[in-house]
Amino acid sequence: MFDVIVVGGGNAALCAALTAREGGASVLILESAPIEWRGGNSVHTRNLRCMHDAPQDVLVEAYPEEEFWQDLLKVTGGLTNEKLARIIIRGTSTVRDWMRKHGVHFQPSLSGTLHVARTNAFFMGGGKALVNAFFRSAEQLGIKIRYETTVKHVNVKDGIFESVVLDNGEVISGKSCVLACGGFESNREWLKEAWGQNENGEWPADNFLIRGTKFNRGDVLKNLLDQGADQIGDVTQGHCVAIDARSPLYDGGICTRLDCVSLGIVVNQFAKRFYDEGEDFWPKRYAIWGRLVALQQGQIAYSIIDSKAIGRFMPPVFSAIKGNTISEIAQQLNLDVDQLNQTVNEFNQSCHVGTFNHNILDDCHTENIAPEKTHWALPIDQGPFYAYPLRPGITFTYLSLKTDETAAVFFNEQASPNLFVAGELMAGNVLGKGYTAGIGMSIGTIFGRIAGQSAADAVKKMKESHAHA
């Protein structure tokens, strides 16, 4: 029998497995995906948000605990557990050395991206390289890995973990267990049920695209909730980005995101604006746009920019729809030509142009228009014009298993002594809503390590009590 069974094969699972092994436990990883698709959503990532009080290897300037905490507080609107959040924030100040020990490399900060180079450490080779490094290290440390192995049921008796049951009926017992198998974002039926039908009779989730792995179906989450595990979070909340509507259903990854939203206007299928496109920097605000598009009729929107915006955002993977006039753009998007011209004209007339600077919350804003655009508001007047269709791109869901500082799974407000949780599966404890770039990996890495340590400690305790019996 293995000491620790880890369910999942992404960053959180790997951090848990490696830490449990370092704590002296024998470890088995069960990963749903085949080897070539291993690593879950973590393979798509690029960076980790880290606090630091002074410049530190790849991070410039300082990003103190309090600023990180305030950023989180702002995006979640207070829907966060401060104690757990601060554990995560503090943990990020030292975790990079541990990650390096297991083969992860970080890239030097990029020039021209100061607001991200200060807060986020970028993985050399991205999340795919990180996951591969962790798997290599796991193999070297003697951790057993089984691919194409899906856990369907977790046997828990009186809050105590006993075994897992696979989709083929096989039962695997363990002394303790870490659940780190993602949210339910790739379970389209569950998303549909969660979002329900809107006032127009539409099922919004039918139009969602999933940015990451198709293996995060939430089987274990549902199973634990059915068994009375304590839950936290709203079933419809999650990290949801506006992505190019032409993206594939699964695994489109980072390149399908559109960063031009704040440089122009966004209109719905009635050619009308519906939200302040210049509210804040993209690392703080980009994750609200998927949800905003999801709330529009048809779950479709269009980002419209002019030639001045070209070169000011990451080049997207799909080419833009191009037109010499706004009318040409409207025709190509099947939007009402007069209405789009009116929306653009009204916006242009409302622009109070100051000193444009996309690196700060500048003073270019609108006046006497609703919704306002509070920064980077420049008239859309220099052809050719460009447009991108937007759909909600779901990254991960926030409905979670409730946990504490030991990463224990709770049943009736009682902490399990040997069942722990990490990553997306518990992210809702600190992310009630909203998102700030890089915190998904901060949560997964720090809670992965805590869960792994707790699982190894639980096994030690068990061995000690047997020795004394």
Ligand X SMILES: Cc1cc2nc3c(=O)[nH]c(=O)nc-3n(C[C@H](O)[C@H](O)[C@H](O)COP(=O)(O)OP(=O)(O)OC[C@H]3O[C@@H](n4cnc5c(N)ncnc54)[C@H](O)[C@@H]3O)c2cc1C
For residue 265, give the 3-state DSSP assignment. strand
CB 433 within 8 A of CB 41: no
Q: Which of 21, 25, 45, 145 binds ligand X (CB under 6 A)?
A: 45
How many angstroms separate the first and last alpha carbons of the chain? 20
CB of 371 to ligand X, least distance (A): 28
Q: Which of 23, 283, 444, 452 binds ligand X (CB under 6 A)?
A: 444
Binding piece for ligand X, criterion CB under 6 A, among 25-33, 338-346, 353-361, 398-406: 25-33
Q: Which of 32, 247, 296, 454 binds ligand X (CB under 6 A)?
A: 32
Asked if 9 is part of the footprint of ligand X (rule: CB under 6 A), the reply reads: yes
3-state helix, strand, coil in the chain (%, to 5): 35, 20, 40
Q: Quote the CA–CA distance of 151 and 181 in Å, as a whole number.
A: 9
Asked if 452 is part of the footprint of ligand X (rule: CB under 6 A), the reply reads: no
CB of 391 to ligand X, least distance (A): 14
Give the nearer residue to ligand X in terms of CB position, either 48 or 292: 48
Asked if 440 is part of the footprint of ligand X (rule: CB under 6 A), the reply reads: yes
CB 431 within 8 A of CB 424: no
Q: Quote the CA–CA distance of 313 and 290 in Å, as a whole number.
A: 18
CB 366 within 8 A of CB 372: yes
Q: By rule CB under 6 A, what string of x and - marks binding of each residue 241-260 to ligand X?
A: ------------xx------
Q: By rule CB under 6 A, what string of x and - marks binding of each residue 151-170 to ligand X?
A: x-------------------
**Which residue, among 243, 126, 134, has the nearest Cα to 180 in the 3D structure?**
134
- Restricting to residues 387-416, name those near ligand X by CB under 6 A: 395-396
Asked if 71 is part of the footprint of ligand X (rule: CB under 6 A), the reply reads: no
CB of 434 to ligand X, least distance (A): 14
Asked if 303 is part of the footprint of ligand X (rule: CB under 6 A), the reply reads: no
Residue with tokens 């901060």: 442
Residue 226 burial (CB < 10 Å; 0-12/13-18/19+)?
Answer: exposed
CB of 393 to ligand X, least distance (A): 8
CB of 242 to ligand X, least distance (A): 13
Asked if 44 is part of the footprint of ligand X (rule: CB under 6 A), the reply reads: yes
Q: Quote the CA–CA distance of 69 and 89 in Å, as a whole number.
A: 7
* Helices 11-22/126-140 angle, 10° precision: 30
* Helices 82-91/65-76 angle, 10° precision: 130
Asked if 40 is part of the footprint of ligand X (rule: CB under 6 A), the reply reads: yes
CB of 184 to ligand X, least distance (A): 9
Binding piece for ligand X, criterion CB under 6 A, among 31-39, 99-107, 230-238, 347-355: 31-39
**Which residue, among 394, 245, 207, has the nearest Cα to 333 in the 3D structure?**
245
Binding piece for ligand X, criterion CB under 6 A, among 43-51, 347-355, 375-383, 404-412: 43-51
CB of 187 to ligand X, least distance (A): 10
Which runs of E-coded beta strand occur in 101-204?
Answer: 120-122, 144-146, 151-157, 160-166, 171-179
Q: Quote the CA–CA distance of 95 and 395 in Å, as a whole number.
A: 24
- Restricting to residues 332-391, name those near ligand X by CB under 6 A: none
Asked if 33 is part of the footprint of ligand X (rule: CB under 6 A), the reply reads: yes
Binding piece for ligand X, criterion CB under 6 A, among 6-14, 317-325, 332-340, 365-373: 6-14
Token output for 151:
């856990």
Q: Which residue ranges make up the site for ligand X (CB under 6 A)? A: 7-13, 30-33, 39-42, 44-48, 150-151, 180-182, 211-213, 215-217, 219-220, 253-254, 395-396, 423-424, 438-441, 444
